[in-house]
């Protein structure tokens, strides 16, 4: 499905979100533990020739909404559409792959209570761009998830944050540290890579996956800005803009 602009046609899903591949990586007790639970869900169908399970927009998942679209907005002759694909790599664990950021967030929320606390989302991989409708077939575009991947080491990220916020003891100190950190990031002109694989922090995550939602939606905003031609705007710049807007509305602008 496509959404037209003056110059290009944006590739969007049948539920009207921009096409942006995402893959969640889970640790699991074992494959049989998960498959027993999947077999109880009418919205999950095993597809042996693809080596995966299809998460369908049907049954238990039919009440979900994405973008501007819900179940009733999908043409009857296309129902049920596939929301995601669940796989069990040979290396272990489980993955949930979706065509959009909204579906990835909804998937994390949908499966967490159904699979239980022993199944934990540990990493996420995302393609940090939107696509035009004429850029290729869907399977080719989904394959970009495994091309030129930049894997973020969680130890390096933890070390950086500890260094940046060492000694922070008060709200003014925190505001100053955040401001200086974002300014350095913006001035360095560093931005997220095209295909980014980074750790999640399940011990700090909320039941509704608020951190995952915020993290992925920031990348969606960046993809939108780049799509409309604002290619100099980095993720750090977007975060800084959001922080400044928040502080301004709170009457606490630096």
Per DSSP, helices labelled H in the chain are 31-38, 101-115, 138-142, 154-164, 171-188, 210-227, 235-249
Owner of token pair 């790599």? 89
Q: What is the pLDDT of residues 64-121, one digit of tens each?
A: 988 777 888 888 888 899 999 999 998 889 999 999 999 999 999 999 999 999 999 9
Q: What is the pLDDT of residue 6?
A: 55
Distance in angstroms (rounded) separating the CA atoms of residues 18 and 68: 11
- List the chain residues with pLDDT less than 70: 1-7, 154-190, 243-254
Q: Are 100 and 20 in contact (CB under 8 A)?
A: yes
Question: Where do the domains of the chain lie?
Answer: 2-249
Q: What is the pLDDT of residue 159?
A: 54
Q: Are 57 and 81 in contact (CB under 8 A)?
A: yes
* Distances 149 to 18, 87, 92, 114, 124 between C-alpha atoms, Å: 21, 19, 19, 30, 12
């Amino acid at each position: 499905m496509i959404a037209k602009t003056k110059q290009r046609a944006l590739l969007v899903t049948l539920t009207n979100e921009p096409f942006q591949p995402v893959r969640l990586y889970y640790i699991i007790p074992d494959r049989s533990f998960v498959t027993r639970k999947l077999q109880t869900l009418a919205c999950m169908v095993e597809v042996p020739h693809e080596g995966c399970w299809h998460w369908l927009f049907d049954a238990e998942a039919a009440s979900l909404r994405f973008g501007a679209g819900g179940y009733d907005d999908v043409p009857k002759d296309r129902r049920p559409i596939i929301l995601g694909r669940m796989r069990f790599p040979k290396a272990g664990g489980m993955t949930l792959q979706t065509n959009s950021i909204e579906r990835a967030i909804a998937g994390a929320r949908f499966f967490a209570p159904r699979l239980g606390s022993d199944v934990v989302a540990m990493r996420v991989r995302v393609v940090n761009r939107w696509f035009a409708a004429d850029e290729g077939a869907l399977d080719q575009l989904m394959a970009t998830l495994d091309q030129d991947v930049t894997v973020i080491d969680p130890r390096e990220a933890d070390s950086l944050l500890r260094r940046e916020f060492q000694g922070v003891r008060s709200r003014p100190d925190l505001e100053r540290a955040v401001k200086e950190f974002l300014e350095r990031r913006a001035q360095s002109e560093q931005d997220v890579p095209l295909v980014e694989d980074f750790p999640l922090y399940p011990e700090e995550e909320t039941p509704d996956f608020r951190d995952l939602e915020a993290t992925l939606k920031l990348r969606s905003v960046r993809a939108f800005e780049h799509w409309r031609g604002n290619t100099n705007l980095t993720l750090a710049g977007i975060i800084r803009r959001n922080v400044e807007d928040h502080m301004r509305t709170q009457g606490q602008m630096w």
